[in-house]
Amino acid sequence: MLQTQWQAFIAQFVALSRRQRLDSVEILSGTPPEQAAVALIERTAQARLCCPACHSRHLHRHGQANDLQRYRCVPCGKTFNALTGTPLAHLRHKALWLQYADCLLSSDSVRKAAQQLGIHRNTSFRWRHRFLALAKNDRPRCLHGITEADELYLLESEKGARHLRRPARRRGGSARQRGISSEQVCILVARDRTGQTVDFVTGKGQLTKQQLLYCLPPVIDRDILLVTDGHAAYSAFARETGISHQAVVNLRAGIRVRGAVHVQNVNAYHSRLRGWLRIFHGVATRYLPNYLGWRWILDARRILSAETLLKATLGEFPHLTVT
C-alpha cells in the first residue's frame, strides 16, 4: 500500500464506532468479527457446562450445528449447546449480537438499532427483551444505612396489545380520573446512600402496606433508617416490621429536607428514569420490569461493554463489590 493510501486509510479510523474499532482489533489478531460472539459464548459456557435436563457433567462432544459445539449427556442422552436454556436460545445472526449489545448500552430505539444492524424491527424488539431477561436481575442483594424509598406513577400502557381492555387513547395521554387511580401503575424505588437501588412494579393504584411487606423485607437490613415522604403505608410498614422510619417530606408545609435526612437521591433517580423513558415514546406496562432493569444497568455502570452484557444475558454477572 502506498504511503498516501495508508494515510487516507488511517484517517478514516476517527469515524469508526467503538464496536467497529473492536472488530478491527479482532481482525488484526486473526479472529474474524463474525466469530467473536460465538467464541465468547463458548468460553462463558465452559465454566458451568452441564446437561440442562439432568445437570450431569458427564458429557461428550456431539458435532456442531449453527456455529456452536453440541454436546451429548451420557446419563440421559439429551443433546444441547452453550445456548440451551438461556434467553438467547434459538435466535439467529449471532455475529450481530455484540453490536446489538452496544445499541442497548447506547439506549437506541428498536428502529434505530434495526437500521444500524440491517435487521427487521421485530427482530430488534425480540432481541431487546431476550438480552434483558437475565441482565435485569443483576441487582444489589441488600440495602444498608439510610435508605430512601418513594413511589413513581406511570400511566398504564397497553402498547402493542392486540386487544385493549379499555377504550383507546392517544399515546402519552392523560388519565380520565384525577389523582392516583387504577389507570396508573405504581413503581416503588428504594435507594441507599451508596447508590444501590432496587425497584418493583407493585401494581395499579396507590401503594399499600401489603405491597411494601412483600417487596422490601428481603432486600433491606433490619437496622436501616427508612426515609420516606408522608405516605401512610410507609409508617404502617415500619411499625409492623420494627424498622426505624422518618417521614421528612410534607409538601403542604413546604418541607422537603431535614438536614441529612431527605429523599432527594431517590427523587433524582425518578427524574433520570422518567427522562430516559421518553426516548421510547411509551413503554408497555407488561415490559416495565425489563426497562427498569435496563435503566439500572446504565445508571449503576456495572455493565460497560457489549461483552459484559452478553455474559450477563447468559447468566454470568460481574462481581458485586457492594452487597
For the stretch 138-150, pLDDT in tens is 888 899 999 999 9
Residue 155 has φ and ψ, to the nearest 5°, of -65, 130
> How far is the C-alpha of 259 from the C-alpha of 240, rounded, in Å?
27
When the candidates are 3.40.50.720, 3.40.50.300, 1.10.167.10, 3.30.420.10, the CATH number that belongs to 146-159+179-283 is: 3.30.420.10
For residues 241-260, give the mean pLDDT: 75
Task: Report whether pLDDT(119) > 90.
Answer: yes
Least confident of 38-52, 62-76, 169-183, 275-289: 169-183
Q: Please, what's the largest Cα pairwise distance for the chain? A: 78
- For residue 198, list its beta bridge partners: 190
Task: Report whether pLDDT(123) > 50.
Answer: yes
The overall average pLDDT reported for the chain is 85
Q: Please give the distance of CA 292 from its chain centroid, rounded to a whole number.
A: 6
> How far is the C-alpha of 48 from the C-alpha of 57, rounded, in Å?
9
Spatial CA neighbour of 153 closest among 190, 189, 129: 189
Q: Please, which pLDDT band fits residue 320 given cuts at 50, 70 and 90?
A: very low
Q: Please, which pLDDT band fits residue 262 given cuts at 50, 70 and 90?
A: confident
pLDDT value at position 29?
63
pLDDT value at position 1?
63
For residues 5-17, give the mean pLDDT: 72
> How far is the C-alpha of 131 from the C-alpha of 122, rounded, in Å?
14
pLDDT value at position 220?
92
Kindly list the domain boundaries of the chain, sorted by start residue: 146-159+179-283
Q: CB of 149 within 8 A of CB of 229?
A: no
- Residue 156 makes CB contacts below 8 A (sequence gap 6+) with 183, 184, 185, 204, 285
